[in-house]
Structure 1
């Protein structure tokens, strides 16, 4: 009986020692560096909204054979609400030219020596972002690093122009609109409202809302393009048409203009264009007839 108890104690001690060594043994893997791509800037990494790239993780495996680790990455990829979503990585071994792709991120196999891991990152919400990388081996956290990058928003603007066509009994004013983005970030889901206001009665007589997207540093993007019947060529179209007649207004529909108003010579109208993207608002107005 005493021998059985002794054998049980020895076996329990061996199991405990094995488990203890497994979880507390010397780590063979470490993070050497985290590096953003050169185009983000050398000192203060910066990208625009809707931009993306790869964060480079240089990781050293000091073992003489392949090692499995678990990689946890936070805040590398965010959705339009700023919530973190799963990303993916590319792993290049010390002598490999072809990467191993892991999606979603989880257990990763490292070759002996230096391994280059690339984490895909991208953001739709501006602000300061902190990517956190944790490395686990045998279920134990063995290394952690973080890197910060600034996400810059777009800077939207609106501009208006007009043309005047005079006919025998009335004048036709056509208002043309364009959007610009002078910022580094791209903008998707820009909501633009076009309204024609009769300033004599102080009422909105025509209104329309349309959606647009702008790339980074995109200037004078036309808000309306009209295609010909064969769709081989597009011409700049007005976003608003205002007809001022001496007598009875015409039957012209002025399609496909977004907004149309008709009045008599002597009436005053105002075209108001308001563009909104998240917390940004850009606005432009034009009096018809223009003030001279």
Structure 2
């Protein structure tokens, strides 16, 4: 009985050893020497640079699998063994540059390859790279890739035009992004309050997109003001101000507080104007 148990244990151990030997094998002597990835913005193309060291004397073909290389807007992660970029190719979509279902040929010594990354949500993502030959794992390593959120800011300014019986204030707004990541579908709300009565007299809402390190103008029509406030001294001018849709008309005793608030995920930014400004008096 004991002999049978020992035989069974010996056979199991042998199978385990053989399995590990086959998986890690005595194949190519290839190691991940280095990995680097600069921070990448949301919605931008990132790149993971990998140095693979082939310690053998002959070229060898290996496969790369990169886990957590892509994350969509729902937070779902995708792995890839494709989009392997060779530093020697000139065109991004050259067949020799982008490997879809082909191994990577490593010459003896250090070899540099790069893998495309992409994320639709900010955060920190651990990217794991596996190098294999004929389904045998040769080496693996992990690196944390930073995807910072947008850094949003709102700016409002105005231009005054004096007409025969009215003062007209054209309001221009800008959604500014000082961050690396793009922000899509930024909900932006305009609220106009009459300071004399304390009542809200106008509201509107719209979404905007802004790229990383860029700004987007708030408008409903290019090169026109975002909103217009008319202060009529002898009755409204009757101007339609089209195609501007955000229009408020008041009298000489009115002063309006213009508030614009933008929201993207957990970021909320706002800016205000008081028109006519207090320094103009009545």
- TM-score of the two chains, using structure 1 as the length reference: 0.73
Judged with a 3 Å threshold, the aligned counterparts in structure 2 of structure 1 residues 170 and 84 are, in CA distance, closer, same or farther, namely: same
Residue 105 of structure 2 corresponds to residue 129 of structure 1: no
Mark the CA change 1:65 to 1:218 in structure 2 (over 3 Å): closer, same or farther: closer
Q: For residue 63 of structure 1, report the CA deviation from its aligned partner.
A: 7.3
The equivalent position to 1:222 in structure 2, one of 209, 217, 236, is 217
Secondary structure class of the residue paired with 1:274: strand
Task: Give, in angstroms, the shift of residue 100 of structure 1.
Answer: 5.1
**Residue 281 (1) aligns with residue 277 (2):** no
Query: Where does residue 153 of structure 1 map in the other structure?
Result: 149
Q: Is the 8 A contact 1:50 1:123 kept in 2?
A: yes
CA RMSD of aligned residues (A): 3.2
Shift of 1:147: 1.3
Match of 2:84 in 1: 90
SS of residue matched to 1:102 = coil
CA deviation vs aligned residue, 1:70-114 (integer Å, no higher than 9, x gap) = 432112222233332355322659x999835333xx662534535
Uncovered stretches (5+) of structure 2, i.e. residues with no partner: 1-14
**Partner Cα separation in structure 1 for residue 178 and residue 86 of structure 2:** 37
State the SS of the aligned residue for 2:164: coil
State the SS of the aligned residue for 2:103.
strand
Q: Hey, what's the Cα distance between the residues in 1 that align with 2:59 and 2:245? A: 67
Partner of 1:180: 176
Aligned to 2:74: 81
CA distance in 1 between partners of 2:211 and 2:167 (Å): 37
**SS state of the match for residue 262, structure 1?**
strand
Aligned to 2:161: 165
Instruction: Summarize the Cα distance change of 1:247–1:139 in structure 2 as closer, same or farther, 3 Å threshold.
Output: same
Aligned to 2:192: 196
8 Å Cα contact 1:49/1:123 also seen in 2: yes
1:257 is matched with: 244
Q: Which residue of 2 aligns with 1:25?
A: 25
* 8 Å contact kept, 1:182–1:216: yes
Task: Identify the residue that residue 36 of structure 1 maps to in structure 2.
Answer: 36
5+ residue gaps, structure 1, are 1-15, 41-45, 228-234
CA drift at 1:271 = 0.9
> By how many angstroms is 1:226 displaced?
5.3
Q: Does 1:117 align with 2:123?
A: no
In structure 1, what is the equivalent of residue 204 of structure 2?
208
Q: Tell me if 1:240 matches 2:227.
A: yes
